[in-house]
Amino acid sequence: MAVFTIPFDYDETDKTTVPICVRDTDDLGNLVHFEWIEQGVAPIAKKLVKLASRVLHDGWRASEIVEPVVFKLSLDHGANVGDKPSALVYSKAKWFAEDVKVGGRRVRRKTEVELFVKTMESVEDQFDFLQSLMAKDTLDRLLHRLTELGMDDVRAMVPMILMECDAHEFQRRFKKSRNAVSQQFFRGMRRAAQSAGIMGRLRDGE
């Protein structure tokens, strides 16, 4: 099994450069498409080392966060690296580094969900929206009213909340903080519920 080393002209006597090493075969025995190394990793090698240094406090751990990302991208996309392979590699490596930092993806996701739920609950205490949404006729009326009011974002949040999407998914979809998303959702639902005659006027809590 060979190993790709970036930079390609890396000299072991060079004590100022931190190399990134990626095996040419993943853990499943699949050959890694070199395009992801050449076009995805090599152009931003220094940035990836800095990422490891910033998140994991050790630039020498860059290979640890880059190799799994390259394996996954190569497996999912083959040699089709798209228009911005380096941007994709960096984005994936950033999230993987955060996973490694806290002990794994499940731990990070659990933490994000807990933080998001706490934020939601602080607003939700005024009215149990989620319980009301479980009633199909109420849900249908609210969704219809949201459409009439032009609250497309709030409407899109409803199925995501019912499917228990995590905070990152809300932030990625709506480009807002978890607090801003929760405030927008419950304010929108109050307005729709009041407009549809489902509930009386509630205090805004501000």
Q: Convert the pLDDT of each residue in 88-141 to its tens digit.
A: 999 889 888 887 776 554 544 554 455 555 555 554 454 455 555 555 556 777
Considering the domain architecture, whether residues 118 and 151 belong to the same structural domain is answered as yes
The mean of the pLDDT values for the chain is 79
Please compute the mean of the pLDDT values over residues 43-52 and round it to a whole number.
94
What are 26's two structure tokens?
């993943």
Overall domain count for the chain: 2
Considering the domain architecture, whether residues 133 and 81 belong to the same structural domain is answered as no
Examine the pLDDT at 77 and tell me if it is beyond 70: yes
Q: Which one of 50, 72, 103 terminates a domain?
A: 103
CA dist., res. 68 & res. 88, Å (int)? 13
Confidence band of 146 (pLDDT split at 50, 70, 90) = confident
Examine the pLDDT at 4 and tell me if it is beyond 60: yes
Which pLDDT belongs to residue 201?
A: 39
Which pLDDT belongs to residue 81?
A: 92
What are 27's two structure tokens?
């853990």
Considering the domain architecture, whether residues 11 and 95 belong to the same structural domain is answered as yes
Considering the domain architecture, whether residues 128 and 92 belong to the same structural domain is answered as no
Q: Which one of 78, 103, 128 terminates a domain?
A: 103
Considering the domain architecture, whether residues 85 and 112 belong to the same structural domain is answered as no
Considering the domain architecture, whether residues 48 and 135 belong to the same structural domain is answered as no
What are 164's two structure tokens?
């228990």
Examine the pLDDT at 38 and tell me if it is beyond 90: yes
Identify the top-confidence range among 38-42, 143-147, 169-173: 38-42
Domain contains 65: yes
Domain contains 204: no
Considering the domain architecture, whether residues 152 and 186 belong to the same structural domain is answered as yes
Asked if residue 52 lies in contact with residue 64, where contact means CB atoms within 8 angstroms, the answer is yes
Considering the domain architecture, whether residues 32 and 69 belong to the same structural domain is answered as yes
Domain contains 202: no
Confidence band of 53 (pLDDT split at 50, 70, 90) = very high
Considering the domain architecture, whether residues 144 and 71 belong to the same structural domain is answered as no
CA dist., res. 70 & res. 201, Å (int)? 53
Considering the domain architecture, whether residues 56 and 125 belong to the same structural domain is answered as no
Examine the pLDDT at 158 and tell me if it is beyond 90: no
Which pLDDT belongs to residue 205?
A: 37
Domain contains 200: no
Considering the domain architecture, whether residues 20 and 78 belong to the same structural domain is answered as yes
CA dist., res. 94 & res. 153, Å (int)? 27
Domain contains 205: no
Domain contains 203: no
Considering the domain architecture, whether residues 95 and 116 belong to the same structural domain is answered as no
What range does the domain containing 87 cover? 3-103
Which pLDDT belongs to residue 42?
A: 95
Which pLDDT belongs to residue 111?
A: 47
CA dist., res. 55 & res. 93, Å (int)? 11
The more confident residue out of 75 and 179 is 75
Q: Which one of 103, 126, 148 terminates a domain?
A: 103
Domain contains 142: yes
Which pLDDT belongs to residue 6?
A: 94
Which pLDDT belongs to residue 37?
A: 96
